[in-house]
Structure 1
Amino acid sequence: MKKALSIALTLYFILGLALVVHENSWFSFSKNALSDMGSLRNPKGWMFNVFIIGLGLLGLVTSLMLKRKILTLSMAFLVLVGVFPEEKPLHTPSAILTYILAFTDMVIYGGIWRVVGIGTFMVMLFLINLKVGLAIPELIGAASILAYILYLGERA
């Protein structure tokens, strides 16, 4: 069941993001943050926000099954990223905590994941400082987190 949930979470992310990007033809990975698609100013913003809430809820169930408490807290903050669009004050802290808590869980898990968690965080900060478009570091972080969840699901 844990393996199936981790695979379902990854597929949901890939397919859901592809759909939301397709529906927002103005979106640019090199010029936007992913959350720009969920903006209150975007008539299709609800699609991104529902996608993120669903991703967070599926992530919550998966991380609970994997018995990863900090990762579970990370997924709870991911739900809040969708509940509070980017114009709302709780959006940015929720997004930042989603990543920091997931990377913290990796570091605590140890082994190669300690390197992946710290390394991914450093790469994200470097790319943010280069102003390459926030979506690119966000996707790198998401890929790292999904790889970790897939690993945990496989080992369970």
Structure 2
Amino acid sequence: MTGLDKASGWAGVASVLLTNVATVGATVASPSFEWTGNALSDLGQPGTPVATPVTTLLFDGGLVLGGLVGLGFAYTLWTAGENVVERLAVLPFAVALVGMAGVGVFPSSQPLHAPAAVTLYLASMVAMAVYAVGNAVASALRRGAVTLGLVCAHVGVWWWWASGGSVARDGLAIPEIVGAFLFSAWVLWTAHWHLAGERAPDGAGVVASA
């Protein structure tokens, strides 16, 4: 495994850690954030009751930095892809990371905030679904099936939320964090596959096809 391969794989891990630690840290640092009463983006919008300079730095900065770092993982997805379908997943993955950074760059009061957030969630689901199909083509059937299961769970969470009323109602943070964790779980799982599992370039940690 080359240094670039390792750096790319670890970029995926670092992106997940940066965004999730910063987001959860912002909720803890907020003086009045409530999961059932707020959207996560409230933490990054100066002037809202739940936001402070610390929460805006953590939330907005974490998303921007995590999105930029996470783009490095696209190299692994491309070079280690075993077929054209797996490689096609690189495009929506990169779009999702740009959307993630956009959420941090444009606070919730900005016109581009909502498009960035929608881009993040939709593109992340598309990336996972396309990669899952590519896995199936590469005979990694169990991995493809589990990934599609994560996509279905993500879609299901938003379907459940949308069926209960306005999407932008109080408590939006709940489906937002669930969606973020599902995408994060896939990135971590896939990074491990390429760093120490069957897809590791040097064959380290080779296991049965998954």
TM-score normalised by L of structure 1: 0.88
Q: Name stretches of at least 5 consecutive residues in structure 2 with no aligned partner.
A: 1-5, 79-89, 133-143, 195-210
When the two chains are superposed, the root-mean-square deviation of aligned CA atoms in Å is 1.9
Which secondary structure state, in structure 2, belongs to the residue aligned with residue 87 of structure 1?
A: coil
Whole-Å Cα distance in 2 between the matches of residues 46 and 143 of structure 1?
Answer: 20
Q: Relative to structure 1, is the Cα distance of residues 119 and 129 closer, same or farther in structure 2, using a 3 angstrom cutoff?
A: same
Q: Which has the higher helix share?
A: 1
Give the structure 1 partner of residue 56 of structure 2.
46
Structure 2 counterpart SS, 1:32 = coil
* One of 67, 71, 96 as aligned partner of 1:60: 71
1:52-131 pair list within 5 angstroms: 52-67=63-78, 68-110=90-132, 111-112=144-145, 113-130=147-164
Closer, same or farther: CA 64–98 of 1 in aligned 2, 3 Å: farther
The alpha carbon displacement at 1:52 in A equals 1.3
How far 1:107 moved relative to its partner? 1.1
Task: Write the letter of the residue equivalent to 2:72.
Answer: V
For 2:14, give the aligned amino acid: A
Q: Which residue of 1 aligns with 2:17?
A: 11
Q: Shift of residue 64 of structure 1? A: 3.7
Distance 1:114 1:18 in 2: 26
Provide the secondary structure at the position in 1 that maps to 2:33. coil
Aligned counterpart, 1:146 = 184
Q: Which amino acid aligns with 1:75?
A: L
For 1:115 and 1:40, the matched residues in 2 are separated by: 37
What is the TM-score of this pair, normalised by structure 2?
0.67
- Of the two structures, which has the highest relative contact order with CA contacts closer than 8 Å and spacing of 6 or more? 1
Out of 107-116 and 25-34, give the one that drifted further.
Answer: 107-116
Q: How far does the alpha carbon of each residue in 1:71-107 deviate from its partner, in whole angstroms, 9 at most, with x for none?
A: 0111011111111100111100110110100100111
The structure whose Rg is larger is 2
Q: How many residues align?
A: 156
What's the CA shift for 1:132?
6.6
Give me the identity figure in percent: 26
* Residue identity opposite 1:114 in structure 2: L
SS of aligned partner of 2:72: helix
**2:12 and 2:72 in contact (8 A); partners too:** no
